[in-house]
Amino acid sequence: MNTSDIRAALITGGSGGIGKAVAERLAADGYAVAVHYSGNKDKAEAVAAAITDEGGRAIAVGGDVADEAAMTAAFTTAESAFGGLDVIVNAAGIMILSPIATADLADVDRMHRTNIRGTFVVCKLAANRVRPGGAIINVSTSVTRTKLPSYGAYAASKAAVEGLGLILARELRGRDITVNTVAPGPTATPLFLEGKSEELIDQLASMNPMERLGTPEDIAETVAFLAGPARWVNGQTIFANGGMA
**Of the residues 38, 180, 222, 237, which one makes contact with ligand NAP according to CB under 6 A:** 38
CA–CA separation, 49 vs 227, rounded Å? 22
152 binds ligand NAP (CB under 6 A): no
Q: What angle do CA 173, 64, 122 make, to 5 degrees?
A: 0
**Of the residues 3, 4, 30, 39, which one makes contact with ligand NAP according to CB under 6 A:** 39
24 binds ligand NAP (CB under 6 A): no
Residue 185 · residue 240 · CB < 8 Å = yes
Which residues neighbour 197 within 8 Å (Cβ) at sequence distance 6 or greater? Answer: none
118 binds ligand NAP (CB under 6 A): yes
CA–CA separation, 77 vs 236, rounded Å? 29
Which residues neighbour 192 within 8 Å (Cβ) at sequence distance 6 or greater? Answer: 95, 186, 213
- Using the contact rule CB under 6 A, the part of the chain among 63-71, 96-104, 128-136, 166-174 near ligand NAP is 63-71
Taking the least distance from each CB to ligand NAP, the nearer of 114 and 178 is 114
**Of the residues 75, 120, 192, 239, which one makes contact with ligand NAP according to CB under 6 A:** 192
Binding-site size, ligand NAP (CB under 6 A): 30
Question: Which residues in the chain belong to E strands, given as ranges?
Answer: 8-12, 32-37, 58-62, 85-90, 130-139, 178-184, 237-240
228 binds ligand NAP (CB under 6 A): no
Report the catalytic residues: 154
Q: Identify residues 160-189 at the interface with ligand NAP (CB under 6 A).
A: 184, 186-187, 189
Taking the least distance from each CB to ligand NAP, the nearer of 79 and 217 is 217
Residue 126 · residue 76 · CB < 8 Å = no
**Of the residues 27, 78, 94, 121, which one makes contact with ligand NAP according to CB under 6 A:** 94
Taking the least distance from each CB to ligand NAP, the nearer of 82 and 151 is 151
**Of the residues 114, 178, 208, 222, which one makes contact with ligand NAP according to CB under 6 A:** 114
Tell me the Cα Rg of the chain.
17
